[in-house]
């Protein structure tokens, strides 16, 4: 299990998103109103829109290009559309406010 520090909680606005790249993959990190942090691949399965630029409503984000709606915890595209995006596990250190991303095996990537 690999864990690496990505950001501080104050880097991301509530209902906002920031991005970082992991190898070839751009990842969008979202901060929801309930304080939780979710990381998904920053690419809508429809036409590749940047989800980080979308509007966050509850636990979903609306893609800015064609309004596809993606559930951020599961990565599932919501009806009536279909599909899913890769998700990444995150952790927040309550004391320091640091955000970590955990990957099964970074080396494997």
Partner 1 sequence: MRENNQPIKKLVLAGNGMAGVRMLEHLLKLAPQAYEITIFGAEPHPNYNRILLSSVLAGGADMNDIIINQLDWYTDNAITLHTGDPVVQIDPTARRVISSKGITAEYDELILATGSSAFIPPLPGSDKDGVIGFRDIRDCETMMETARTHQKAAVIGGGLLGLEAARGLLNLGMDVTVIHINEHLMDRQLDRPAGLMLQQELEAQGMKFLLSKRTVELTGKRRVQGLRFTDGTSLEADLVVMAVGIRPNIQLAQSAGLKIGRGILVDDYMRTNVPGISAVGECAEHRGIGYGLVAPLYEQGTVLAKRLAGVETLPYEGSVTSTKLKVSGVDVFSAGEFQDTPDTRSLRIQDDIDGIYKKLVMRDGRLIGAVLFGDTSDGASLFSLIKSGESVKGREKELLTGQPAVGAAAVSPLQRLESMPDDEIVCGCNGVSKAAIGDAVQNKDCNTMKSLKACTKASASCGGCAPLVEGLLQLYAGDNAGAAVKEGICGCTSLDRDEVVSEIQRMGLKTVREVMHVLDWAEPEGCSKCRPALNYYLGMLWPGEYEDEKESRFTNERYHANIQKDGTYSVVPRIYGGVTSPADLMKIAAVAEKYNVPLVKFTGGQRLDLLGIQKEDLPKIWEELDMPSGHAYGKTLRTVKTCVGDTFCRFGTKDAMGMGIRLEKAFERMDTPAKVKLAVSGCPRNCAESGIKDVGIVALDGAWELYVGGNGGVKIRAGELLCTVKTEDEVMEWTSAFLQYYRESARWNERTAAWIERVGLDSIKEKLADTDTRQALVSRIEETLSYTTDPWKKIIEDDSLRKNFEDLSGAAALSGSSPARH
* CA distance linking residue 106 with residue 103, whole number of Å: 6
Site for partner 1 contains 36 (CB under 8 A): no
Cβ 74 to partner 1 shortest distance, Å: 17
Contact 30, 17 (CB under 8 A): yes
Site for partner 1 contains 76 (CB under 8 A): no
Cβ 75 to partner 1 shortest distance, Å: 18
> Which of 35, 36, 57, 73 is the binder for partner 1 (CB under 8 A)?
57
SS3 content of the chain, % helix, strand, coil (to 5): 5, 45, 50
Structural tokens at position 96: 């320091």
* CA distance linking residue 71 with residue 30, whole number of Å: 11
Cβ 5 to partner 1 shortest distance, Å: 7
- Which spans of this chain sit near partner 1 (rule: CB under 8 A)? 2-7, 11, 13-16, 18-23, 29, 33, 47-50, 53-58, 62, 64-65, 67, 69, 100, 106
């Amino acid at each position: 299990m690999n864990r690496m520090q990505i950001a501080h909680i104050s880097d991301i606005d509530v209902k906002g998103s920031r991005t970082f790249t992991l190898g070839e993959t751009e990842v969008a990190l979202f901060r929801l109103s309930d304080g939780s942090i979710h990381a998904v691949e920053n690419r809508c399965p429809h036409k590749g829109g940047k989800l980080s630029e979308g509007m966050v409503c509850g636990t979903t984000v609306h893609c800015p290009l064609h309004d596809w709606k993606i559930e951020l915890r599961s990565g599932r595209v919501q009806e009536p559309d279909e599909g899913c995006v890769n998700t990444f596990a995150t952790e927040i250190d309550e004391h320091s406010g640091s955000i970590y991303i955990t990957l099964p095996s970074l080396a494997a990537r």
